[in-house]
Structure 1
């Protein structure tokens, strides 16, 4: 069985195709033959050793797949070791999906879709009429957050992106405007997965009782200390979010994922799909993701 594995930490160059024995299901496991595996920014942190939780080496990354069960069901599943031709999943982590749903669109709804949903609903607790700024708005999470913010009642949705092509994309998705710092108007909610200087600029751009939700550190500059006194002067909050522990909270997956799937089925939410890469070229997929050459959902196909 072909899989992608790394045995020491580093950049994309440590990812290598290997032949591994097919996984053997245990009690409660379901074997899935993979149609497509999702690539997430968190995977790049696992590979370079900067992820919030350490994994034993050697390690096969990948947390989500679309595939087929032995009884013929087409499923979307949360997994470990998803960069492979076959994977195991727990029954509770498997969700049947229509044959007509594109695999990349389905994968966009799992890690990234649930992240966007919880950033707005659970962490920011977005209220009707509030303004939202989405950093990295053309990415997997950002492109969904722009659309969901509008669906969830935001008054203005503002996008931060890095290229003119990405500007056109986010405006087509429903953003009111593309912004740079300093903002011309204070924001009620800012979603940030970058950190570093962008986090600092965002913190100073919050409206009174605004919320800055941080859910990553793509800048890889480390985490910025936050002075409680400064928060007091700003009348603002910094909220941290990590999807992994959220998935264990009762009701955190089924309801939100069902809502996301229903929105897609009703053509009211359009996951942005990016490049497809052969499984053996996971190294190139990671390099392109880190270099900001991708938009939307990136997938590997065996």
Structure 2
């Protein structure tokens, strides 16, 4: 099969398409003929050996695929590695049925990014009706879905944070009530101003550094900050428990891999997301459908941070 393999850590130049042996499924796995492979920012961190989980070379990147099983079932599946390939063996428990009406890009987008957005809104940040919610990286795969899910959950004000006017416009089109530029000198003040002058109830944050620090300072009493990534690779300041107590605030972390200990809940979440998309209540932003032979270009695009929505690879090209 054709697959993308990394044999050394580095920039986009280290991702190369190679001919590799077909995978052999274990008894608990199912073989998937891949229609689309999801591309995520985490893949670029893995490529540089900067991801939260350590990596061993050589490796095939890619943690999400959609395609068909040998018996013709259409599935979408999360895996640890190996998604940038024509075929992949996936745990049968993590292969979710894909309903009619969901295209391949949508099917992949609802995996790592859709499930993360769902978990953040429903569990980690515990968004409630009437809440004000800040969504960072609002035009990205997670953020673009989180805006809509927060609104569906009953949030009365959604504040989108994004680095360009184009991205802020996308966030507005998805239902954000206000937008903020993360480069603002006083991000705390900008977030509070965007919430009609009052502190915010929930923040979904994946940047790190001062963005995390100043977002935390914008929380209202009983506010929640859900931290699910550190794209800047800059650690935030240490959180003072006493300072949290003074505002009855909560800071929590989330990594989707831990959620796979609860496969029944993830399957339920995936089915719920798929139903919303098919019904027209949730919109997936198609950010780019790349040939697998263009894998270096998609990684270059990731590095520029100018991408919007969901990026995928087509292994057949």
TM category, shorter: over 0.9
Q: Which residue is equivalent to 2:21? A: 21
- Indicate the SS of the match to 1:277: strand
Q: Which residue is equivalent to 1:137? A: 138
Kindly state the Cα deviation for residue 200 of structure 1 after the two structures are TM-superposed.
1.1
- Contact kept? 1:195, 1:224, Cα under 8 Å: no
User: Does 2:199 align with 1:189?
Assistant: no
Kindly state the Cα deviation for residue 247 of structure 1 after the two structures are TM-superposed.
1.6
User: Does 2:10 align with 1:10?
Assistant: yes
- Contact kept? 1:77, 1:93, Cα under 8 Å: yes
Q: Following the alignment from structure 1 to structure 2, what is the Cα–Cα distance between the partners of residues 115 and 149?
A: 13
Q: Deviations over 1:222-254 (max 9, x none)?
A: 354222222223331111000001121253301
Query: Normalized against structure 2, the TM-score is what?
Result: 0.91
- Contact kept? 1:130, 1:189, Cα under 8 Å: yes
Q: Answer with 96-105 or 119-128: which moved more.
A: 96-105
User: Does 2:222 align with 1:209?
Assistant: yes
Question: Cα RMSD between the aligned structures?
Answer: 1.4
Question: What stretches of structure 1 of length at least 5 have no aligned partner?
Answer: none
Q: Following the alignment from structure 1 to structure 2, what is the Cα–Cα distance between the partners of residues 48 and 232?
A: 38
Q: Following the alignment from structure 2 to structure 1, what is the Cα–Cα distance between the partners of residues 238 and 10?
A: 26
Q: Following the alignment from structure 1 to structure 2, what is the Cα–Cα distance between the partners of residues 256 and 98?
A: 14
- Contact kept? 1:190, 1:213, Cα under 8 Å: yes
- Indicate the SS of the match to 1:75: strand
- Indicate the SS of the match to 2:269: helix
- Indicate the SS of the match to 1:4: strand
Query: Normalized against structure 1, the TM-score is what?
Result: 0.96
Q: Which residue is equivalent to 2:243? A: 230
- Indicate the SS of the match to 2:233: coil
Q: Which residue is equivalent to 1:295? A: 308
- Indicate the SS of the match to 1:58: coil
Q: Deviations over 1:1-47 (max 9, x none)?
A: 11111122222222111211111222122111111000112212211
Q: Which residue is equivalent to 2:184? A: none
- Contact kept? 1:139, 1:297, Cα under 8 Å: yes
Q: Following the alignment from structure 2 to structure 1, what is the Cα–Cα distance between the partners of residues 302 and 287?
A: 10
Kindly state the Cα deviation for residue 286 of structure 1 after the two structures are TM-superposed.
1.8
Q: Deviations over 1:202-234 (max 9, x none)?
A: 011111111111000000123542222222233
Kindly state the Cα deviation for residue 98 of structure 1 after the two structures are TM-superposed.
3.2
Q: Following the alignment from structure 1 to structure 2, what is the Cα–Cα distance between the partners of residues 287 and 135?
A: 22
**Which consecutive aligned stretches of 4+ in structure 1 deviate over 4 angstroms post-superposition?**
none
- Indicate the SS of the match to 1:251: helix
Q: Answer with 112-121 or 51-60: which moved more.
A: 51-60
Q: Which residue is equivalent to 1:279? A: 292
Q: Following the alignment from structure 1 to structure 2, what is the Cα–Cα distance between the partners of residues 113 and 94?
A: 15
- Indicate the SS of the match to 2:36: strand
CA pair 121-100 structure 1, distance change in 2 beyond 3 A? closer
Q: Which residue is equivalent to 1:34? A: 34
User: Does 2:163 align with 1:159?
Assistant: no
Q: Which residue is equivalent to 2:150? A: 149
- Indicate the SS of the match to 1:252: helix
- Contact kept? 1:74, 1:99, Cα under 8 Å: no
- Contact kept? 1:189, 1:206, Cα under 8 Å: yes
Q: Following the alignment from structure 1 to structure 2, what is the Cα–Cα distance between the partners of residues 56 and 224?
A: 31
Report how many aligned residue pairs link the two structures.
302
- Indicate the SS of the match to 1:221: coil
Q: Following the alignment from structure 2 to structure 1, what is the Cα–Cα distance between the partners of residues 224 and 243?
A: 14
Q: Following the alignment from structure 1 to structure 2, what is the Cα–Cα distance between the partners of residues 223 and 250?
A: 32
- Indicate the SS of the match to 1:201: helix
Q: Following the alignment from structure 1 to structure 2, what is the Cα–Cα distance between the partners of residues 99 and 130?
A: 34
- Indicate the SS of the match to 2:150: helix
CA pair 99-251 structure 1, distance change in 2 beyond 3 A? closer
Q: Following the alignment from structure 1 to structure 2, what is the Cα–Cα distance between the partners of residues 121 and 77?
A: 21
